[in-house]
């Protein structure tokens, strides 16, 4: 006997499990989503990091001073240092430090909310030195260890940059007695 094809009018699927799972995923992604910091939104370049196999430690999200060395235009020769500190409170005190006022003029300050661009290694060295002293002063005012900033330095350089740029930063770090630091890399797939 041939089956009679019935038109199912008002056909309803129970969507409740679907909605359950979707909400679950939605909340997961909402909580894990990290929004761009001020330094990131100011960043107009992209850093192609070198790839490594041996490294396992992740770049800390807080209390890290990052020195970015990037190719920030189509011309490969146009390079600059970008300095930023992830702790906003500490970052503001660094920018207001009197010893930087000589070259860190108000109009430059206006242009560098999240990170300071410089091409001069002396300026970068002054920034590193100021960050170290300000971090010490900052930690004295804080009581709990959670509030204190364990300032770490990381060099985030583009892989196409000549080593001279990195080597100059390493020398600057050495002169400011910051002998421990990190190179930022990407995981080799």
Partner 1 sequence: MAGGGDLGGGGGRPKRGKHSKRKAKKRVGFRIDMTPLVDITFLLLTFFMFVTTLTTPQVMDMAVPPETEDVEVAESKLFTVRVREDGKIFYNQAKDIPQPILMKELRAKAIKSNLDLKNELITVLKIDENVPYETVVNILDELNLAEIKITQSLQAEKLNRERKFTISQMTDKDKEEIKGL
> Which positions touch partner 1 (CB under 8 A)?
12, 15-16, 18-19, 22-23, 25-26, 29-30, 32-35, 49-50, 52-59, 69, 154-167, 170-171, 173-175, 177, 179-187
- Please say which residue, 61 or 107, places its beta carbon nearer to partner 1: 61
The CA-to-CA distance between both ends of the chain, in Å, stands at 60
- Please say which residue, 32 or 141, places its beta carbon nearer to partner 1: 32
Query: Minimum CB separation from partner 1 for residue 169, in Å?
Result: 10
User: What is the DSSP annotation of 108-160?
Assistant: HHHH-SS-EEES-HHHHHHHHHHHHHHHHHHHHH--STTTS---EEEEEE-TT
Query: Minimum CB separation from partner 1 for residue 155, in Å?
Result: 8
Residue 13 vs residues 10, 17, 18, 66: alpha-carbon distances, Å: 10, 11, 10, 53
Query: Minimum CB separation from partner 1 for residue 63, in Å?
Result: 13
- Please say which residue, 59 or 119, places its beta carbon nearer to partner 1: 59
Rounded Cα distance, 109 and 123, in Å:
14
**Count of Cβ atoms closer than 10 Å to residue 62 Cβ:** 11
Query: Minimum CB separation from partner 1 for residue 149, in Å?
Result: 17
- Please say which residue, 80 or 154, places its beta carbon nearer to partner 1: 154
């Amino acid at each position: 006997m041939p089956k009679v094809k019935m038109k199912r009018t008002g056909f309803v699927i129970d969507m409740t499990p679907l909605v359950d799972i979707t909400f679950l995923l939605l909340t997961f992604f909402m909580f894990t989503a990290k929004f761009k910091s001020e330094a990131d939104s100011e960043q107009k370049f992209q850093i192609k990091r070198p790839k490594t196999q041996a490294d396992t430690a992740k770049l800390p999200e807080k209390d890290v001073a990052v020195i970015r060395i990037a190719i920030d235009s189509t011309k490969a020769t146009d390079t600059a240092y970008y300095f930023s500190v992830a702790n906003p409170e500490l970052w503001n005190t660094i920018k207001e430090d009197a010893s930087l006022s000589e070259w860190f003029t108000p109009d430059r300050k206006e242009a560098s909310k999240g990170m300071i661009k410089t091409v001069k290694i002396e300026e970068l060295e002054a920034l590193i030195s100021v960050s170290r002293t300000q971090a010490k002063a900052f930690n004295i005012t804080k009581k709990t260890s959670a509030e204190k900033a364990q300032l770490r330095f990381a060099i985030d350089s583009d892989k196409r940059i000549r080593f001279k740029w990195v080597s100059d930063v390493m020398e600057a770090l050495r002169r400011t007695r910051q002998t421990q630091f990190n190179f930022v890399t990407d995981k080799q797939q």
